[in-house]
Amino acid sequence: MQDEEMVNEVKLEYEEDLTKALDHLISEYQIIRAGRANPHILDKVVVEYYGVPTPINQMANINVQEARVLAINVWDQSQLKNVSKAIQAADLGVQPTDDGKIIRLIFPALTEERRREIVKQVKKLAEETKVVMRNARRDCLDMFKQMKKDSEISEDEYSGLEDEVQKLQDKYISLCDKESADKEKEVMEI
């Protein structure tokens, strides 16, 4: 019974690792600019706000005004310049413009060449995620091999577990491929 609990714990940990890898990929894809305004591009931009590094989304409303325009309405107007400087320093590929009340980011239309570069980045992120997933599978199977070596599970049980682990791996790899294909399609849309 205790062996079964250990097996379930190892499988659960493996699935958590796969989920974390996929979630990380999705969050990275949200940041990638695809020619239209996306508030998530500002997720990693922080502003020095009274001595505390603060994400922009915690000190302003960020709205998509038009397909390629983000409007940032800073709650504390005295911080307008600091927010603008932080966006410039983040090197997002767009220059902020402010009218004294609202900061606007106007995203230029992407060139074909730039789209292809972004697609390469999308594919690279997907491949890195798959490597993380394969490493998680290897670690999981190593634990099961050790349990088999220690006679905690039989050869047949190990074989069944190996199949389960592979099925789970295939499921998450296909989810990763789907996310990647969706992002590529979004980037290549004009």
Overall average pLDDT of the 105-133 stretch? 88
- pLDDT for residue 33 is more than 70: no
2-31+111-188: CATH topology is Topoisomerase I; Chain A, domain 4 (1.10.132)
Q: What is the mean pLDDT of residues 2-27?
A: 89
pLDDT for position 18: 94
Q: Which residues contact 127 (CB under 8 A, 6 or more apart)?
A: none
Express as a percent the part of the chain with pLDDT over 90.
Answer: 33
pLDDT tens string 164-173 = 999 999 999 9
Q: What is the mean pLDDT of the chain?
A: 87
Interval 101-119 mean pLDDT: 84
Rounded CA Rg of the chain = 23
pTM, two decimal places: 0.72
> What are the residue boundaries of the structural domains of the chain, listed by start?
2-31+111-188, 39-106
Q: Please tell me the predicted confidence (pLDDT) of residue 170.
A: 95
Per-residue model confidence (pLDDT) at position 190:
62
> How does pLDDT run across 34-72, given as a tens digit for each residue?
666 778 778 788 888 888 888 888 888 888 888 788 898
How crowded is residue 165: how many other Cβ atoms within 10 Å of its Cβ? 20
Q: Which residue has the higher pLDDT, 174 or 97?
A: 174
The CATH number, out of the four listed (3.30.1360.40, 3.90.1170.50, 3.40.50.10490, 3.10.20.440), of the domain defined by the range 39-106: 3.30.1360.40
Candidates 63, 36, 75, 58; CA nearest to 189 is 36
Q: Which residue has the tokens 């413009």?
A: 97
Mean pLDDT of 7-15: 91
Identify the band that residue 85 occupies on the pLDDT scale cut at 50, 70 and 90: confident
> Is residue 1 scored above 60 in pLDDT?
no
